[in-house]
Structure 1
Amino acid sequence: MSVKNNSVKAWVKSGSPWIWMNAGAVSIAVIMTLGLLAVIATRGLAHFWPADLIEADYQVPGQEIKVMAGEITQLEEIPRARLAASGLPVAAEGGEFMTRELFKVGNRDLYGADFTWVVGEWLSNQRTPQTLSAFERREWGNLYGYLVNVKESGQLVAEGDGAWDVLQQRLARVDELHTQVVRLEKKDIGRINAGLERIRLQTRKLELQGELDAQAQAELDVERAQWDAQYKVLETQLVALYGAFNRDSITVRTADGREVEVSLGKVVRAYQPNAMTSLGKLQFYGAKLWEFVSDDPREANTEGGVFPAIFGTVIMTLIMAVIVTPFGVIAAIYLREYAKQGPLTQTIRIAVNNLAGVPAIVYGVFGLGFFVYVLGGSIDRLFFPESAPAPTFGTPGLLWASLTLAILALPVVIVATEEGLARIPRALREGSLALGATKIETLWRVVLPMASPAMMTGLILAVARAAGEVAPLMLVGVVKLAPSLPLDGNYPYLHMDQKIMHLGFHIYDVGFQSPNVEAARPLVYATALLLVLVIAILNLTAVFMRNRLREKYKALDH
């Protein structure tokens, strides 16, 4: 017995139990993380798969039979007593549980809501007609029904079996016209509007300076006339495009027998999932995924894509990294290499460490009060008086959001860089100085290159912390919907004063502020997965750079 006790004591003294406990904790954390990602991916990515459309008879006891068509999106079992308590005519006899199904019936303009709960036991004669179609619209959500005919300028073009192929051809034409309309409105007309706005501001500036004489006014009028002439040409093209865009229409008969005429300009795509092959569904799935990451949102962010939010997240994180890295490195160099080590320096270090634990919303309030109102307002008064009373930088925007995130992530970069500087052997510094290098040369050519992996570590932690923040951004520049990207072809090309979208805020808005909760729920999962992937890509890029630097200076480190 004593031998066994001694062996246990020796095993404990060796530290093996702590190694196994740490390994188990790490394994559990990894499994939980992967499980969470799997749930998010499953619920988010499944939304884009073209589910079969079901048509069924639905009869509430004592009422007439209704014909319903759509998708079954959720199924659950609930107590029979609970259904009876909700006012439904549920019979007392039977099993303890009944099935409740969430039916996506679409046709919100006809039914008032495109989701409805039904009792599974009251659904009968379920069928999947091959010609039952889904029409994805730019507004009012999906329309489910049967294609009756296709019209051009009110005249019948096709009906019956041949109407579907004609519809697909004309949808391709409408998609091309929509691309041209978007390019005209966002790029060409946007460029003209930017030019007219510059003329207006230049006129106002000359007025304030007392330099708006007849010659200056004439030059501005000539330039304005040129822009107006270009605008009239584009306006004529736009009117013609809209006329061609709304030329065609279709008639759709819903499951309950009603016929609806819809302009093809309002239809994004039409498909018949029940008639699709596996390859066809896979191609459709890929097209929907691409639309999600490359298109603009629509329908209160519950349809379309999230590209503006992806762009806003990435551009803001990159600007934050460009700002926070030099300031964090300089602060760390001063604290480690130049500051006199004493109570004051130690107090500063404690304050920096404490800043890392300050709630993010506090940084948002600081950014709003100092960056937006004080600094931005001062910039407007000094450099943009002609824009008054409309603010230029005295309002939340990309620059202030990036600066706020930089302040939030600054302590992380300082601490990581200072620890990297502390790891550099003193002998290397002394050897460089002994060879005649100055202190600044030693820092620049020896110390900083060897400490660069630690700087990159700080940057990685900063990106991971800042890219997923939402609370401070709600105050300093992120909005529900931004009409245009902050980067375009109009001077100064990168508009730091412009508001942006962000994936984190998009998740909050779609999940908690959406007027159509059931339609928005899958997009919350999909956007959350996308945010994780964006942060992972940014971090992996920084990790790759850090590893390259670490390999480069490994020999010197030894």
Structure 2
Amino acid sequence: MRSDNRLMRWFHTDTPWVWLNAGAVALCLLTLLGILLLISIQGLAHFWPKGLVQAEVTADSQSRRVIGAVIRHEHVSVRQLQEAGLSLDSEQAEVQRTLIHSGNREFSDSDYFWVLDNALSDRHYPDHLAVFERTRWGQLYGYLRGLSENGTLLQQGPDIDQDMLWREFEQRRQRTEALQQEIDRIESNMLGQINRTLEQLRLEQRRLELLGPLKVPQLEVLARERADLEQDYHLLQKRLTRLQQQVTRDHFHVEVADGRVLEFAMVDVIRAYRPNGMSLVDRLEHFGIKLWEFLSDSPREGNTEGGVFPALFGTVLMVLLMSLLVTPFGVLAAVYLHEYAYQGRLTRIIRIAVNNLAGVPSIVYGIFGLGFFVYFLGGSIDALFFPEALPAPTFGTGGLLWASATLALLTLPVVIVATEEGLRTIPSSLREGALALGATRAETLWRVVLPMASPAMMTGVILAIARAAGEVAPLMLVGVVKLVPQLPVDGHFPYLHLDQKFMHLGFHIYDVGFHSANTEAAQPLVYATALLLLLVILLLNLSAILMRNHLRARFRTLEPEL
């Protein structure tokens, strides 16, 4: 009885609730760390070079050779396999099966397949098995057996020195890579610049035609400039043709799993390596190269290979533009509501409306942005400033500007509420003291009130960044696309092209995860991209938090002593 009373007294103290709160916080932190650990392991493992296995697979009394990378193992019940139509005689309740990536996508319906471990035999890991990463058809697995140049066979066969053949292959691949980089430079920079200038001349001619009949001197100037550009274009095309003939000179021969020796173009190879013969240092170097490629390259093969740099760049740029748009409007609205507006029924209704706007589904903001920003504002801008480009829209279609404006509208209530809460914590005595010393109301606001409320403003911006960076639904309507060939920033005036469409990490995750035809190939990229998005949001928030702490320390002297 005495112990029960002691327990009841302990229960009525604050100690149980302290432990309950601490346990809840610890559980949340452990859950968060577990999710981050899972995403990190699944995502970063994609960049580690996996060894290639060669084995015999026996099924229905027939045996075939397979070459591939082991992705993962799992245990599956025998009853489940039997219900799926697989004839399996086993006394065990479960058997282990292995997922193998066989590559060579152009020769099979699927480059991933499951095989029971008891059907695998004669497993070994030859050092000369090679991985050829290609611009199309994914990875190619097999043995390098020969090289050819312009259709002439240089060396071929399994008996030649494999190391010498591999060194020759690498030299020719590096030569082809240098030629391809020159081709890309001509196509994207030189020819791209000429095409842009020709388009500007066409728009200039159209603009002059809208103003009135063209005069002969104007037509002659435009025709002369166009002729000069077309001549330069013709010379570059000749140079490009010669380079394309050189870049398609080399081919290589690979023995695939079924024993055939097939010929492939060297220009299609991005990278080649032999994972079974790599040391730990080589594997770490390869891991760094693949990770950097993921961060700095563009996607390919339906976004299931390559990098995510356009999506990373578009996400960061959009969040920065959104912050520049939402901060002044949110702060001005909060200052007016708290400092200038009459605190009556109308102001209370406005505050209730602002709070309710924070709970509106994001897709509604996307529809509003499409109707108001894109169709109304963008269409009006095109009619006023870009009539020569019509009916092709300039700002009358989704783009970076309208996506940033839509997300700024979505996060505006957060900034307003956070800023107004910061203004509410500032004592009235500070305002009255500044006014008593002769400062105007505007001077009091700029020199006393806003500096002290700046940490609260930054808190609102932090919350806005955290929400906007992960939004996908509204962006699908106002400017985000699956793949865009160029960045919205380049070296041509006006340098930042707010009318261009862009890529976003959140939409990239959605597209790769749900619209990819090859789900097994897309799965590790989904984890890697999700990890990158979390890191981007973390870095943006940390930057805002450091700025808030700096402002808080700077204006701490203005706070009254309690």
TM-score normalised by length of structure 1? 0.97
**Deviation (angstroms), 1:421:** 1.0
2:64 to 62, 66, 73: 66
Residues 8-407 of structure 1 mapped to structure 2, 5 A cutoff? 8-9=8-9, 11-12=10-11, 14-62=13-61, 64-91=62-89, 93-159=90-156, 160=160, 161=162, 162-407=164-409
> 1:2 Cα deviation (Å)?
5.6
* SS of match in other structure, 1:29: helix
Aligned mates of 1:455, 1:387 — CA distance in 2: 41
The runs of 4+ residues in structure 1 deviating greater than 4 Å are: 1-4, 11-14
Deviation at 1:7, TM superposition (A): 7.5
Q: Which whole-Å CA distance do the structure 2 matches of 1:3 and 1:308 have between them?
A: 66
SS of equivalent residue, structure 1 residue 212: coil
Work out the CA distance in 2 between the residues paired with 1:233 and 1:425.
Answer: 73
What are the superposed Cα offsets for residues 377-425 of structure 1, whole Å, 9 maximum, x if unpaired? 1111111111111111111111110000000000000001111111112
Question: Closer, same or farther in 2 for the Cα pair 1:7/1:110, shift >3 Å?
Answer: closer
In structure 2, list runs of 5 or more residues that go unmatched.
Answer: none
Cα distance in 2 between the residues matched to 1:209 and 1:455: 49
Q: 2-side partners of 1:177 and 1:426: how far apart?
A: 71
* TM-score, normalisation: structure 2: 0.96
SS of equivalent to 1:65: strand
1:479-538 residue CA offsets vs partner (Å, 9 max, x unmatched) = 000110000112211111110000000000000001111111100000000000011111
- Residue matched to 1:442: 444
| Deviates most, 305-314 or 170-179 | 170-179
Q: Report if aligned partners of 1:61, 1:89 keep a CA contact under 8 Å in 2.
A: no
CA change 1:3–1:141 in 2 (3 A) is closer
Match of 1:479 in 2: 481
Describe the superposition over 1:147-200 as per-residue Cα deviations: whole angstroms up to 9, x where unpaired. 001222222334432210111112222222232222222222222222111111
CA contact (8 A) 1:151 1:157 kept: yes
Displacement after TM superposition at 1:435 (Å): 1.8
1:364–1:476 Cα contact (<8 Å) kept: yes
Deviations 1:207-253 (A, max 9, x none): 11115221111111222223223322332332222222222110001
User: Structure 1 residue 3: deviation in Å?
Assistant: 8.5
Matched AA of 2:57: Y
Q: Secondary structure at the match of 2:541?
A: helix
Give 1:113's aligned amino acid.
S
Which stretch shifts more, 234-243 or 403-412?
Answer: 234-243
Q: Secondary structure at the match of 2:59?
A: coil
More divergent stretch after superposition (198-207 vs 177-186): 177-186
CA contact (8 A) 1:456 1:546 kept: yes
Deviation at 1:338, TM superposition (A): 0.4
Matching residue's letter, 1:30: L
Q: Which moved more, 1:466-475 or 1:70-79?
A: 70-79
Distance in 2 of aligned mates of 1:175 and 1:285: 21
Structure 2 Cα separation of the partners of residues 30 and 188 of structure 1: 53
- Alignment counterpart, residue 526 of structure 1, candidates 525, 528, 531: 528
The 2-side partners of 1:201 and 1:355 are apart by 42
Deviations 1:257-315 (A, max 9, x none): 11111111000111110000111011001100000000010000000000000000000
Work out the CA distance in 2 between the residues paired with 1:6 and 1:120.
61
Structure 1 residues 418 and 80: CA distance shift in structure 2, 3 A: same
2:430 counterpart (428, 431, 440): 428
For 2:306, give the aligned amino acid: G
* Conserved 8 A contact 1:158-1:166: no
1:229 and 1:334 mapped to 2: Cα distance? 61
Structure 2 residue identity aligned to 1:460: I
Q: Report the Cα distance in structure 1 between the residues aligned to 2:7 and 2:40, rounded to whole angstroms.
A: 48
The alignment covers a number of residue pairs equal to 555
Relative to structure 2, which stretch is displaced further, 12-21 or 402-411?
Answer: 12-21
Q: Distance in 2 between matches of 1:262 and 1:541?
A: 49
Kindly provide the amino acid, as one letter, of the partner of residue 141 in structure 2.
Y
**What is the identity percentage for the equivalent residue pairs of Structure 1 and Structure 2?**
56
What is the alpha-carbon distance in structure 2 between the residues aligned to residue 274 and residue 112 of structure 1?
A: 26
| Counterpart AA for 1:40 | I
User: Aligned partners of 2:510, 2:236: CA distance in 1, in Å?
Assistant: 38
**Superposed CA RMSD:** 1.5
Displacement of 1:8 in angstroms is 4.6
Please tell me the residue identity of whatever aligns with 1:312: G
- CA distance in 1 between partners of 2:445 and 2:12 (Å): 44
